[in-house]
Amino acid sequence: MPTNCFKHGLRLLTIFVLLGFSSACKKSAIDQALDSDANGYLCRGCNAKFYTDRTVFANSCPNCKSMNVVQVIGFVCPADGHVTVAPRGVGSLACEKCGKTTSGLGIPREADFKAWGAAKKTRAEVGS
């Protein structure tokens, strides 16, 4: 009898170890929310919406060359999960899709910037 209990315990331990390794390889929801494949901006001079690759940071607007550009973030709607893109420091916003107040923050991805109407710009265009 003790031998069967030992084998059963060893199997359970093996399963827990394998589950631990598999979950450690996945990104947490927090890590995914803070990760993006692009950086988004709004020009305060001409209201141009644009984004760059993740490794490129804008110093100036590609349209009017103003240095008054602000980085944008995503406001996530709890009702439908839609991401409303707006400048940092705005507070909460109404969801563009359903009108409810957004409550979560996230870093928008390239698809979110495209849906917002932003154009992709290169390092040379944004003075980085």
Please list the ranges in the chain whose pLDDT falls under 70.
Answer: 1-35, 90
Residue 30: per-residue pLDDT = 54
**How many whole angstroms separate alpha carbon 113 and alpha carbon 52?**
10
Residue 16: per-residue pLDDT = 47
Number of domains the chain contains: 2
Asked if residue 21 and residue 44 are part of one domain, the reply reads no
Asked if residue 51 and residue 9 are part of one domain, the reply reads no
Inside any domain, residue 96: yes
Asked if residue 116 and residue 66 are part of one domain, the reply reads yes
Residue 32: per-residue pLDDT = 56
Residue 27: per-residue pLDDT = 56
Residue range(s) defining the domain that contains residue 4: 1-26
Enumerate residues 6+ apart whose C-beta is below 8 A from 68: 43, 44, 45, 61
**How many whole angstroms separate alpha carbon 15 and alpha carbon 8?**
11
Inside any domain, residue 43: yes
Residue 35: per-residue pLDDT = 67
